[in-house]
Structure 1
């Protein structure tokens, strides 16, 4: 694991990626960004559930400050992290962040971009970017308010509040909190729940969930029309009716 900033374990219905820079608490550097873009390309062409975790007891303590210090205007306009995290958010199948320990700055923003976030008692989530003379420009300034509401988002973004696991769970920023040893298994349980449903139905539901309000209800009807023609819909409904008949 020591040679790569990300370690990928793939199976038929899911991919587990481990952020692997434990010596710098999995700080997100350019190579990690590039490797995650490559993974996104794979998942766009072969959709599967994605689970993201960190090595060494930390999810990701932020962007790589040594690299960040040297970036200038044109680097910011390239959207190095924001482009990646937006791509993660748009992946066809759901994404699950396994947030152990610190998720700060860019690490927090990566977690915000996921559909689900699971934590441990050590989880700490926040955006201390203004203390370094920058802002949370990779989704934090707008995505966080959608997740926890404006008042709490302002406390985190403007006043440096860091949420612990209990606070994040109460706010539903964390969907579940489990012991650190149970975190991988919890992630797979969530993946199992997702993959138990028809993949195309999950994909279309996620796409419609994030669609603009004025696109509804037309796109809902079109998506349902696609599903109505699918063999899997007929097979699943037939199995449901047969199970109900057997119970009578």
Structure 2
């Protein structure tokens, strides 16, 4: 269940609802924002009562303060996009779906931009080796990877295929306004039914509204390789502010990719 990220932008030009000048409406708006922040922070627990109350509060905000609701992220409108490329053993970038070569523009959409934050190895947490195999792979088709591959790093790995995965979580309001986008990028090498090495990993934000302040990474995890499968997860801290009220919510967007030795990937993530 995806959690919520919240943002309200109040300007002097917004006068129809009058929350900036009417103390009663201002108090009501503040009360709604506080309640939405509380329920939104608990959505990951997948409690049906909490989810229902959260959406009821969002509906009330949209009904009572439609202008402000345009800038409040609604998880029902969240969009997830995954873009991937496979680098073959001869160095060609191809689509993992069609196997056809990618254009320069297609490859650029998958690669991290110059401003993306590369993962700091000193801050990475390594979790134990995973043993889950690709459920779609036939056991008979998986070759054995020699034990000598243990501890293989991206700098020393040779052969196999590299796969690049770019995940984008777009946070939108009920009215489809973009609040912010959270991007994560991960590379991994695979061959013979094994994830052999991690490559570079990055994260980045784009399209932030003026009231979105991004902060330090709070989770930076990758599992030990070589292994039948491996997981990379990144999470950031984000402060949400409004001109009239200042900071009113802190959210933790995250994205996770589980990769298999066959090259298959499985995506998960959340808005807060």
- Give the TM-score range, shorter chain: under 0.3
Task: Pick the structure with greater CA Rg.
Answer: 2
Comparing both chains, which one has the higher relative contact order based on Cα–Cα distances under 8 Å and sequence gaps of 6 or more?
2
What is the TM-score when the length of structure 1 is the normalising length?
0.23
What is the TM-score when the length of structure 2 is the normalising length?
0.21
